Amino acid sequence: MASLTAPKIVSSRAHFSDSHTIARFLDTDGYVGLRKALTMFPEQVAAEVDAASLLGRGGAGFPAGRKWSMLRKSPISYLVVNGDESEPATFKDHFLVERDPNQLVEGVIIAAYALQVSQAFIFLRGEFALGLERVQQAVNDAYAQGALGKNIFGHDFSLDIVVHTGAGAYVCGEETALIEALEGKRGFPRIKPPFFPAVTGLYGEPTVVNNVETMSNLPWIIRNGGAAFAALGAGRSTGTRLFALAGRVNHPGVYEIEMVKNTFRDIIFDEALGGGIPGGKALKAIIPGGVSSPWFGPELLDTPLGQDEVGGLGSMLGSGSIVVLDEDSCVVRAVWRITKFFSNESCGQCTPCREGSGWIERIMYRLEHGGGRLEDVDLLLDLCDNIAPGLSWPPQQTTICVLGPSIPSSVTSAIKMFRDEFVAHVTNGGCTHV
């Protein structure tokens, strides 16, 4: 049974048709968290987020509070909000910027206060045209309400937020690439170390980069206290989380549910959530955390939706996306399309990723469209091993960023689980799915 009793922390307004307006926002606890935060010391605000144990919602799952406190030694210059959501089948940040832009802006102001920065940037995907307009409107409204600008709500704190527009590049979701794009350059991830923009970030200055959903959690955490947030979920996975459910399900959508208390089976099959698979078909596989994550078979359906619970089984909760493949879905076609995506989006800096993604895509293409060879299956594994040696999880790194080592996930999962389908594509001279 799905556990649906937890409060809605980031999606509480989403059911209103005017959830994005300042009027609705002010009617429903708008800026209450911010007003409270401004009466606290900045480090008390940070301590509250630490107490919540809020894990970053971007994909890596790094504790947000620690990201802030690590940097305490040197003052932070800039806060950058990552809204460049491009991991395939992930659409929860899209949901947040369109449905509740004011909540995001409030969260950003709270974070900026905790970090004592006076300049924040919200970096949104260019494809989110409506979201961009709504967030810009929310920023304008915040200025009009005195929640932004000089001496916010009469306190000795000032902040400006600039809404920045991306231009279509998946790799810019990687935080150092995002910073390069924000500096007006090609979105090339930066060489590590330093591992954190907190050391060398925007314009070479200490910068904190946080995800849209992470920011959207802050107003509730400040209103209700970090302990109330930490009381939800279990283990390292506290609070609720937005899950984007897509693929072969009856009710695809964004669902906010308590961490760990629900399983993949709950979110896919519960009537109040995914509602099962169209036509009552059998589930073939799930992609649990974006196309960068290794797949799960039906035997892992009862795995709880938690960071360590999924991580312990050799995959990841990642971006909070869950894709369902049913018995009619062709895994070879799915893997071909996923590798084509990586091939398109590789920034081209590192050879294993730039060349490897293209080679794998071409082999997957000929398997799917006819012309594949029996030895292609092992050739694919060999290529994957060159990109992420040992094919372990988390993958070995041969490249500047994690885009490259994410390529093998779907290829090796699908071969491990459905090798016979790959072979059948060779013997049948291509795909036989309609």
Partner 1 sequence: MSHFHPDLRARADELVTLYPRKRSAMLPLLHLAQEQDGYLTEPAILEIAELTGTSPADVRGTAAFYDMIHLEPVGTYVVGVCTNIACLLNGGLEMLEHASDVLGCPVGGTSADGLFTLEETECLADCNLAPCVQVNHRYVRTTTPDAFSELVSDLRTGSTKHDIPSHGTLVRVRRSGGLRVTREELAAQRATAAAARAERDAAAKAAAEAAAAIEELKKQD
Binding to partner 1, residues 252-291 (CB under 8 A): 252-254, 287, 291
Closest alpha carbon to 114 in 235, 15, 219: 219
Please give the torsion angle defined by the CA atoms of residues 303, 305, 308 and 313, in that order, rounded to the nearest 10 degrees. Answer: 30
Helix (H) or strand (E) holding 101: helix 101-115
Site for partner 1 in 401-430 (CB under 8 A): none
Among 3, 27, 39, 130, binds partner 1 (CB under 8 A): 130
Helix (H) or strand (E) holding 253: strand 253-258
Is the Cβ–Cβ distance between 114 and 46 less than 8 Å? Answer: yes
The span from the CA of 174 to the CA of 47, in Å, is 27
Burial class (CB in 10 A: 0-12, 13-18, 19+), 160: middle
Q: Min. distance of Cβ 138 from partner 1 in angstroms?
A: 10
Using rule CB under 8 A, residue 353 touches partner 1: no
Is the Cβ–Cβ distance between 235 and 226 less than 8 Å? Answer: no
Nearer to partner 1, 90 or 216 (CB): 90
Q: Which residue has the tokens 């082999």?
A: 363
The span from the CA of 95 to the CA of 153, in Å, is 29
Residues sharing a CB contact under 8 Å with residue 269, sequence separation 6 or more, in sequence order: 275, 276
> Of the listed pieces 91-99, 218-226, 357-365, 424-432, which binds partner 1 according to CB under 8 A?
91-99
The span from the CA of 406 to the CA of 408, in Å, is 6
Nearer to partner 1, 214 or 321 (CB): 321
Nearer to partner 1, 229 or 295 (CB): 295
Nearer to partner 1, 2 or 291 (CB): 291
Using rule CB under 8 A, residue 341 touches partner 1: yes
Edge-to-edge strand list for the sheet holding 283-287: 253-258, 240-247, 321-326, 283-287
Residues 297-336 as x/- pattern, contact with partner 1 by CB under 8 A: ------------------------x-xxx---x---xx--
Nearer to partner 1, 252 or 304 (CB): 252
| DSSP state letter for 63 | B
Is the Cβ–Cβ distance between 102 and 22 less than 8 Å? Answer: yes
Among 90, 240, 315, 409, binds partner 1 (CB under 8 A): 90
348: left (phi over 0), alpha (psi -120 to 50) or beta: left
Nearer to partner 1, 1 or 434 (CB): 434
Q: Where are the beta strands (DSSP E) in 3-159?
A: 78-83, 119-124
Nearer to partner 1, 2 or 172 (CB): 172
Site for partner 1 in 39-78 (CB under 8 A): 41-43, 75
Q: Min. distance of Cβ 390 from partner 1 in angstroms?
A: 26
Among 28, 69, 116, 224, binds partner 1 (CB under 8 A): 116
Q: Min. distance of Cβ 236 from partner 1 in angstroms?
A: 27
Is the Cβ–Cβ distance between 290 and 131 less than 8 Å? Answer: no
Among 45, 46, 132, 377, binds partner 1 (CB under 8 A): 132
Number of residues that bind partner 1 (CB under 8 A): 80
- What does DSSP say about strands 78-83 and 119-124: parallel, antiparallel, or unpaired? parallel
The span from the CA of 57 to the CA of 272, in Å, is 23
Q: Min. distance of Cβ 308 from partner 1 in angstroms?
A: 25
Q: Min. distance of Cβ 346 from partner 1 in angstroms?
A: 12
Using rule CB under 8 A, residue 244 touches partner 1: yes
Is the Cβ–Cβ distance between 24 and 13 less than 8 Å? Answer: yes
Helix (H) or strand (E) holding 338: helix 331-345
Site for partner 1 in 137-196 (CB under 8 A): 137, 139-140, 142-144, 148-150, 156-160, 162-170, 181-187
The span from the CA of 229 to the CA of 237, in Å, is 10
> Of the listed pieces 17-25, 123-131, 234-242, 297-305, which binds partner 1 according to CB under 8 A?
123-131
Nearer to partner 1, 263 or 410 (CB): 410
Q: Min. distance of Cβ 72 from partner 1 in angstroms?
A: 11
Nearer to partner 1, 245 or 310 (CB): 245
Helix (H) or strand (E) holding 143: helix 129-145
Q: Min. distance of Cβ 238 from partner 1 in angstroms?
A: 26
Among 127, 308, 355, 385, binds partner 1 (CB under 8 A): 127
Nearer to partner 1, 260 or 305 (CB): 305
Helix (H) or strand (E) holding 369: helix 351-369
Nearer to partner 1, 93 or 174 (CB): 93
Q: Min. distance of Cβ 412 from partner 1 in angstroms?
A: 17
Using rule CB under 8 A, residue 374 touches partner 1: no
